[in-house]
C-alpha cells in the first residue's frame, strides 16, 4: 500500500514518544480529572494499534499480542523505577485501547460495505 511507509514512520515516532513519556520522571501536576493517565494509556495504545495496522496489516492476534507484550513490559519496568509504579489498571487501559481500535475498524468496514451495496 502506498501509505505503508508513512504509517511506519509515524509508528516509530509514536513508539519513541510513548516510551519516553512512560519511562521518564513525571514533571506534570495532577490533572483535575482523576484518571487522566488511563485516558492517555487508552489513546496511546489505540494510536499504536492503528499505526501498526496501517504499516503492516498483521493478523489481529499478532498485533494484540505484540502490543500486550509492550504494555506488560512498560508496567514491569515502571515497577522498578523509583518515580513510577506498575499498575494493572494501566495495562487494562492499554488493552482497551487496542480493543477499541478493532471495534472502530470493524465498524468502518461494515459501514463501507453497506455504502458500497447502496450504490
Could you read off the pLDDT tens digit of each residue along the chain, which spans 119 residues? 588 999 999 999 999 999 999 999 987 766 667 788 899 999 999 999 999 999 999 999 999 999 999 999 999 999 999 999 999 999 999 999 999 999 999 999 999 999 999 97
Contact between residue 14 and residue 67 where contact means Cβ atoms under 8 Å apart: no
From the list 18, 11, 101, the residue with the least C-alpha distance to 64 is 101
pTM of the model: 0.92
Q: Give the pLDDT confidence score for residue 82 in this predicted structure.
A: 95
Q: Give the pLDDT confidence score for residue 43 in this predicted structure.
A: 98
Contact between residue 15 and residue 66 where contact means Cβ atoms under 8 Å apart: no
The neighbour count for residue 8, using CB atoms within 10 Å, is 15
Amino acid at each position: 500500500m502506498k501509505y505503508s511507509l508513512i504509517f511506519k514512520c509515524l509508528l516509530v515516532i509514536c513508539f519513541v514518544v510513548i516510551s519516553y513519556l512512560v519511562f521518564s520522571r513525571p514533571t506534570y501536576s495532577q490533572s483535575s480529572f482523576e484518571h487522566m493517565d488511563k485516558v492517555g494509556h487508552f489513546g496511546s495504545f489505540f494510536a499504536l494499534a492503528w499505526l501498526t495496522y496501517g504499516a503492516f496489516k498483521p493478523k489481529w492476534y499478532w498485533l494484540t499480542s505484540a502490543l500486550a507484550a509492550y504494555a506488560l513490559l512498560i508496567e514491569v519496568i515502571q515497577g522498578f523505577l523509583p518515580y513510577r509504579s506498575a499498575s494493572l489498571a494501566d495495562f487494562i487501559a492499554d488493552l482497551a485501547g487496542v480493543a477499541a481500535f478493532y471495534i472502530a475498524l470493524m465498524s468502518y468496514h461494515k459501514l463501507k460495505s453497506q455504502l458500497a451495496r447502496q450504490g
